[in-house]
Homo-oligomer: A and B are copies of this chain.
Amino acid sequence: MSEIAITPAPPYYAVIFTSHRTKDDNGYSEMAGKMNDLAAKQPGFLGVESARESVGITVSYWSDLESIKLWKTNIEHILAQQKGKDIWYSEYKTRISKVEIDYQFIKNA
């Protein structure tokens, strides 16, 4: 279950991954869980938020570009990315962005 990520003061990085899934699960949920667990162990990982309706949006937060690059080239992640293209996604877009400003609201906090 995804929550609002607790991130440090900016600057830090956000990877915005927006996708359309293909129809059947075909092992997707299991792999998504695995990759979330594995990402959380990577150096520079700060948190992740995720939701899916007609599109899926997953935003992962990272301390720096080098950490994002290392995660992108992690061998288990590469295999998952390939299965993503072969089986799970009909379309996706990845955007790597630098968070410059953030602010939050918590009711009655």
CB <8 Å contact, B107 and A18: no
Instruction: Quickly give the copy total for this chain.
Output: 2
A38-77 toward B: CB 8 Å interface, digit per residue (1/0)? 0000000000011111111101000000000000000000
For the complex, what is the distance from the CA of A92 to the CA of B103, rounded to whole Å?
9
Q: How large is the interface on A (under 10, 10 to 19, 20 to 34, 35 or more residues)?
A: 35 or more
Q: Within 8 Å of chain B (Cβ to Cβ): is A99?
A: yes
Interface string of A2-39 (1 = CB under 8 A from B): 11110100100110101110000000000000000000
A96 at interface, CB cutoff 8 A? yes
- Are B95 and A101 within 8 A (Cβ)? yes
Contacting pair A97 B94 (CB below 8 A): no
Q: Which of B51, B55, B56, B96 contacts A55 (CB 8 A)?
A: B51
| Cross-interface CB contact of A54 among B3, B85, B97, cutoff 8 Å | B3
Q: How far is the CA of A89 from the CA of B90 in the complex (A)?
A: 33
- Asked whether B90 lies within 8 Å of A96 as measured between CB atoms, the reply is no
Give the interface of A toward B (CB within 8 A).
Answer: 1-5, 7, 10, 13-14, 16, 18-20, 49-57, 59, 85, 89-107
